């Protein structure tokens, strides 16, 4: 049985993951309207990843005998000043998510909930990767000043990103 403090924190994370998905879908729509279909694709994959994360947390709470409580969330940003603004917002958002995952880990340690600590380790590692990926995109955007042929090349590269569910059973 899951401890109440852990259940409450996990429910906060579930709702945050769903809101993250919605934010990334909004960013995808922004890019699509700006004619950057590769960037739109990249954000659509982010959206799918966040849905998978939310669902994994959802299933975990249920597996541990907890109660999932979904809550409404506030509107997400829909207007941006350009590609650099979108990815700067993305990096800040991922840093906030990292803080939330770290807080969850702290709570599971305080509550001596070793199962949740083990469950969360994948998400700790995932956040390192998320921040590094967005940081690299921002570095590339700085090099090309977010425009011109460099932007076209980056957009085409981002078109190749494909969603792979990290929680699918291995064949």
Domains of the chain: 4-159 (1.20.1260.10)
Q: Which tokens belong to 125?
A: 């590692």
In angstroms, rounded to a whole number, what is the distance separating the alpha carbons of residues 126 and 120? Answer: 10
In angstroms, rounded to a whole number, what is the distance separating the alpha carbons of residues 87 and 81? Answer: 11
In angstroms, rounded to a whole number, what is the distance separating the alpha carbons of residues 85 and 56? Answer: 30
For residue 171, pLDDT beyond 60: no
Does the global pTM surpass 0.85? yes
In degrees and rounded to multiples of 5, residue 114 shows phi and psi of -70, -30
CA distances from 123 to 28, 34, 72, 89, 101 (A): 23, 32, 23, 20, 7
pLDDT of residue 146: 86
DSSP-assigned letter for residue 2:
-
pLDDT of residue 170: 64
CA distances from 152 to 33, 39, 139, 163 (A): 15, 10, 16, 22
12: three-class secondary structure by DSSP:
helix
64: three-class secondary structure by DSSP:
coil
In angstroms, rounded to a whole number, what is the distance separating the alpha carbons of residues 42 and 157? Answer: 9
Q: Residues 23-42: pLDDT tens digits?
A: 999 999 999 999 999 999 99
Q: Residues 134-168: pLDDT tens digits?
A: 999 999 999 999 889 999 999 999 999 999 998 98
């Amino acid at each position: 049985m899951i401890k109440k403090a852990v259940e409450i924190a996990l429910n906060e994370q579930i709702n945050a993951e769903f809101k993250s998905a919605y934010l990334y879908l909004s960013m995808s729509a922004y890019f699509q309207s700006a004619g950057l279909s590769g960037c739109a694709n990249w954000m659509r994959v982010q959206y799918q990843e966040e849905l998978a994360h939310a669902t994994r947390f959802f299933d975990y709470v249920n597996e541990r005998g907890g109660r999932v409580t979904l809550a409404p969330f506030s509107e997400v940003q829909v207007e941006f000043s350009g590609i650099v603004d979108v990815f700067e917002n993305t990096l800040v958002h991922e840093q906030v998510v990292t803080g939330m995952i770290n807080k969850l880990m702290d709570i599971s340690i305080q509550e001596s909930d070793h199962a949740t600590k083990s469950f969360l380790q994948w998400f700790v590692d995932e956040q390192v990767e998320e921040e590094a990926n967005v940081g690299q995109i921002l570095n590339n955007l700085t090099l090309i000043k977010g425009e011109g042929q460099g932007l076209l090349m980056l957009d085409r590269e981002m078109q190749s990103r494909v969603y792979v569910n990290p929680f699918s059973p291995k064949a």
